[in-house]
Amino acid sequence: MTFSPQLEARFATLLASYPPGRERSAMIPMLLYAQDELGSVTDELIAEVARRTGVTPLQVDEVISYYTMLRRKPAGKYHVQVCTNVSCLLRDGDRLFEHACQKLGIENHGVTADGQFSIEEVECMGACSWAPAVQVNYEFHHDVTPDKLDRLLDELKEKR
Amino acid sequence: MPDPVKFTIDGLALSAPPGTSVIDAAKKAGIEVPSFCYYEGLTLVAACRMCLVEVEKMPKLMTACTLPVAEGMVVRTNTPQVHTARKYMLEFLLTNHPLDCPVCDKGGECELQDMAFRYGAGESRYTETKVHTPEKQFSPVVFFDAPRCILCYRCVRVCDEGMGVKALGVVSRGVVSEIAPNHGDHLECDECGACIDICPVGALTSGTYRYQTRPWEMTHVGTICTHCSDGCKTTLGTRNDRILRGNNRDRSGINGEFLCIKGRYGFDFYDHPDRLQAPLVRKDGKLEEVSWSEALAAVANKFQQVLGEEGSFGIIGSNHTTNEENYYLQKFARQVLGTNNIDHHRTGDVVTTLDALSGKTGKLATVADLYRAKAVLVLGADLALEHPLLSFQIRANYRHHQAHVYVVTANPVREDKYAAAVVRGRDYASLAARLKAEPDLAILFDDSYKGDDIRAVVEFGEQLGIPVKYVPLVDRSNSRGAVDMGLTPELLPGYQPSGQPGLHYDEMAAADLSVLWVVGANPLKAGASRKAGFLVVQDMFLTETAAQADVVLPAACAYEKNGTVTSGTGELQRIERAVNTMGAKADLEIIGYVAREMGAAAKMGPWTPDAVFQEIRGAVRGYNVPMPVLVTGGAAGTTPINGRVAADARPDLVRSDHNGLFASGTLGRYSKILNSVVESRQSR
């Protein structure tokens, strides 16, 4: 399996960061970086990461199925993550999530037909001070109201 | 040895070596700390939280499995807090457990039931709907019921650590996490069933045993597996004269709890529909069922007639019949029929090995030695496939004692993964320097080493300057016993030279003998036509050889008779009758009846296993073992000679079948489960 030179360089650094025989420690960051490049964790990627970290594909699958941030199906170009954990919930994070679902016309873990947006209800993102919080890909958005979210999504829609 | 640590558990002043876990220390003192995930010999996961104990000066309850004892530590396992914790843990484990105990295979021998009975709460606070998922079939052997699983990880660990296969894992998390096989929806593994056996609940169940019986309805008979030469004890659960399962949960054999697919499931050939249940005599060119008395008379009369005409006899014995049968057969051949044409299919050059080691004592490694040796050298053999117990022992030795394993084989083998050094080919001499630095060594070699190769290996081992033990690997459940009992023309029982010429296995099959008598062997397997004037075959099935016979006598299988067998590593063990198949008789009995018909009963002596074994004890050096060890189901080491073997070892006659995990010669052909595993693999 071939990756971009940048990703290969990252893999090399990661695998060298752990003592010999402990290459499996690099598994999670490798999967996260590879997922960004490929859009999701494919069977081929699982086999490749297993080979490089010296574990079985099943052991990689154990990790992927445990962590929600590792996805077996591609997300949208913009992956909208709405927190509904305690602090955000107290500030109407749950309603914000429902609003986002309605606006995009999809359910939790869904992807819009054009592949532009996907949505996920997530647990605490560490942004409680500015609840409710939303994360789009790696960008944080604070004190989000339904109006602010509409504007944000419209902007992104135009950006394409 | 560092000073022992002193501590108290439940008021008892105890001491133990540093590093001992509290759970082990408590167990040794006779205090039970309940646990599911803790399992002797496997790594710790502290997943089940059942072993929580109170420790003075520690702020909360501690898991006794992961807590090492410390100087002055005060542990309490019998306090209200501990009792409450156990109740809560069980309540938690039972949240989604289906409580289908009345139909569950495990009901009656379930650790969760036992724990709930002893430590559980009378009621549960959970009223929510239980999470349910349908059962899955992972392979012909393994079924999985996720709701019953308590996620103790025993199966995952025994497969990875014990077997070195890593075929099971745990996917997802929280309430939906479950055991998963290595290939999406199915398993590709050794199909050994260790995961099923080690499961404390009924989550993993066996394809052959599930829903067959309640455990308490069975009778349990400890006997020795009849497939390979490793000599594993298998405890057969029987009901109404049928074998329902094999396992070794009491861990009383040399194999501990280890069994491969053959030991655990491969017994099923015994009730194959093709099993012979009446003697057959050829009449007008066709084999017809007759009574035992008619068949025995036909054999005895023919033997008498040929004796009178001074015709020739040839006798081919078996490498999977008992020592008693082998001994009795060669005695019959030599004393009643007056012939030295007696042989069996030899699967390892035991004779040369013993000769090369003459004058040295304690040179044959036992199964236990392979777990204790500081270093192991494997020559030629793919142990994981052909000698799964020995492979398991060496792997356990590596895991528990960091033994150095050296592999010298033509092809990649499972031992490569943790080997200290791997050499492809046969150049073991290149390891000399490293081996000399080891404290001691066990060398195993397969049939690709014979004759002078073995002498070279022994010479190499003996010049290393360290204690070295050897294992000449053989194939079948009693290959070693067959040579020990003198089933060869060159050697009498106990490796005494016969001093007489005699035809060998292949020669007999091809010779124009007046009579060829085949007991538990299939010399015409390859499709050759019989040459002998009269062919008598004792077997369980109508093999290629039996199909050409004049008389076929239906033989009992190893699970239907008593006697002793000798494993490849020299352990003498008793086999015990578990069931009966109507019409079949033990080979020993058949030989005895033929002797009686010929009026040779007095000469031959009684044909009961115990009587013949007493004779063997006197006649074969090393077999005079302590009877209590044997009688109580133990294994006694044997060294049948400690001097030169004054006969040609004929290494050219040695050839192993190299049966893998899912093959076992004729027996394998008639095992439904072995065939179903092979078929399911081919269909993928």
Of A56, A57, A62, the CB nearest to B170: A62
pLDDT, mean over chain A: 95
In A, minimum Cα distance to B417 occurs at A54
Residues of B in contact with A65 (CB under 8 A): 171-173
Q: Is the per-residue pLDDT at B15 higher than 70? A: yes
pLDDT of B141 reads: 94
Report the gap between the CA of B87 and the closest CA in chain A (Å).
28
Q: Calculate mean pLDDT across residues B358-381.
A: 95
Delimit the domains of chain A by residue range. Answer: 5-66, 78-159
| B665 assigned to some structural domain | no
Q: Is the per-residue pLDDT at B142 higher than 70? A: yes
Same domain, B88 and B157: no
Same domain, B161 and B255: yes
Residues of B in contact with A61 (CB under 8 A): 169, 171, 180
Same domain, B337 and B384: no
CB B148 within 8 A of CB B98: yes
Pairs across A and B, CB distance < 8 A: 27
Partner-chain contact A65 B172, CB within 8 Å = yes
Confidence of residue B642 (pLDDT cuts 50, 70, 90): confident
| B639 assigned to some structural domain | no
Confidence of residue A160 (pLDDT cuts 50, 70, 90): low
Same domain, B202 and B62: no
In B, minimum Cα distance to A57 occurs at B182
Partner-chain contact A66 B180, CB within 8 Å = no
Same domain, B226 and B321: no
CB B198 within 8 A of CB A73: no
| B631 assigned to some structural domain | no
Partner-chain contact B182 A65, CB within 8 Å = no
Beta-bridged to residue B237, according to DSSP, are: B220, B245
Q: Is the per-residue pLDDT at B212 higher than 80? A: yes
Q: Is the per-residue pLDDT at B75 higher than 90? A: yes
Say which residue, B643 or B10, is predicted with more confidence.
Answer: B10
Residues 6+ apart with CB under 8 A from B347: B229, B319, B447, B474, B475, B476, B479, B654, B655, B656, B657
* E strand or H helix that includes residue B242: strand B242-247
| B586 assigned to some structural domain | yes
pLDDT of A159 reads: 83
Q: Calculate mean pLDDT across residues B263-275.
A: 96
Q: Is the per-residue pLDDT at B683 higher than 90? A: no
CB B214 within 8 A of CB B206: no
User: Which of the listed residues B626, B645, B667 is the one where a domain comes to its end?
Assistant: B626
Same domain, B117 and B233: yes
Say which residue, B122 or B152, is predicted with more confidence.
Answer: B152
Of B170, B172, B182, the CB nearest to A56: B182
Looking at the complex, does the CB of residue A13 fall below 8 Å from at least one CB of chain B? no
Q: Calculate mean pLDDT across residues B499-522.
A: 96
Same domain, B507 and B590: yes
Q: What is the CATH classification number for the domain harbouring B381? A: 3.40.228.10
Q: What is the CATH classification number for the domain harbouring B537? A: 3.40.50.740
| B646 assigned to some structural domain | no
Same domain, B20 and B146: no
Partner-chain contact B168 A62, CB within 8 Å = no
Q: Calculate mean pLDDT across residues B556-582.
A: 96
Residues of A in contact with B181 (CB under 8 A): 58
pLDDT of B249 reads: 81
Which residue shows structure tokens 């199925």?
A: A65
Range of the domain at B164: 112-271
| B655 assigned to some structural domain | no
Query: Quick one: tokens of B258?
Result: 């280890």
Beta-bridged to residue B74, according to DSSP, are: B8
Q: Write the pLDDT tens digit of every residue in A80-111.
A: 999 999 999 999 999 999 999 999 999 999 99
pLDDT of A81 reads: 97
0.90 exceeded by the pTM? yes
Q: Calculate mean pLDDT across residues B278-302.
A: 97
Same domain, B572 and B434: no
d(CA B103, CA B110): 12
| B103 assigned to some structural domain | no
**Three-class SS of chain A:** CCCCHHHHHHHHHHHHCCCCCCHHHHHHHHHHHHHHHHCCCCHHHHHHHHHHHCCCHHHHHHHHHHCCCCCCCCCCCEEEEEECCHHHHHCCHHHHHHHHHHHHCCCCCCECCCCCEEEEEECCCCCHHHCCCEEECCEEECCCCHHHHHHHHHHHHHHC
Interface test with B, best of A55, A65, A68 (most B CBs within 10 A): A65
Q: Calculate mean pLDDT across residues B10-23.
A: 96
pLDDT of B117 reads: 95
Output the CATH code of domain A78-159.
3.40.30.10
In B, minimum Cα distance to A55 occurs at B166
Looking at the complex, does the CB of residue A62 fall below 8 Å from at least one CB of chain B? yes
Partner-chain contact B166 A65, CB within 8 Å = no
Report the gap between the CA of B138 and the closest CA in chain A (Å).
14
Same domain, B285 and B312: yes
Q: Write the pLDDT tens digit of every residue in B231-244.
A: 999 999 999 999 99
pLDDT of B235 reads: 96
Q: Calculate mean pLDDT across residues A125-130.
A: 94
Residues of A in contact with B164 (CB under 8 A): none
Looking at the complex, does the CB of residue B417 fall below 8 Å from at least one CB of chain A? no
User: Which of the listed residues B245, B271, B297 is the one where a domain comes to its end?
Assistant: B271
Residue window 174-213, chain B: list those with CB within 8 Å of chain A: 177, 180-182
Hey, is B23 helix, strand or coil? helix
Partner-chain contact A61 B181, CB within 8 Å = no
Q: For the ranges B307-311, B314-318, B540-544, B660-664, which has the lowest average pLDDT? A: B660-664
Q: Write the pLDDT tens digit of every residue in B433-460.
A: 999 999 999 999 999 999 999 999 999 9
Same domain, B171 and B252: yes
Looking at the complex, does the CB of residue B169 fall below 8 Å from at least one CB of chain A? yes
User: Which of the listed residues B27, B62, B93 is the one where a domain comes to its end?
Assistant: B93
Partner-chain contact B173 A66, CB within 8 Å = yes
| DSSP string over B598-634 | TT-HHHH---SHHHHHHHHHHHSTT----HHHHHTT-
Of B172, B173, B182, the CB nearest to A58: B182
Confidence of residue B2 (pLDDT cuts 50, 70, 90): confident
Interface predicted TM-score of the whole assembly (ipTM), two decimals: 0.87
Q: Write the pLDDT tens digit of every residue in B214-230.
A: 999 999 999 999 999 99
Looking at the complex, does the CB of residue B252 fall below 8 Å from at least one CB of chain A? no
| B458 assigned to some structural domain | yes
Q: Calculate mean pLDDT across residues B167-177.
A: 94
How many other CB atoms are there within 10 angstroms of residue A137's CB atom?
13
Of B167, B169, B181, the CB nearest to A62: B169
Residues of A in contact with B171 (CB under 8 A): 61-62, 65-66
Give the C-alpha distances (Å, rounded to integers) separating B7 from B20, B69, B439: 11, 7, 35
Between 3.90.1640.30, 1.20.1640.10, 1.10.10.1590, 3.30.70.20, what CATH number should domain A5-66 receive? 1.10.10.1590
Same domain, B451 and B490: no
In A, minimum Cα distance to B178 occurs at A62
Q: How many domains does chain B have?
A: 4
Report the gap between the CA of A110 and the closest CA in chain B (Å).
19
CB B585 within 8 A of CB B553: yes
Q: Calculate mean pLDDT across residues B52-81.
A: 97
d(CA B101, CA A31): 42
pLDDT of B503 reads: 97
Q: What is the CATH classification number for the domain harbouring B28? A: 3.10.20.740
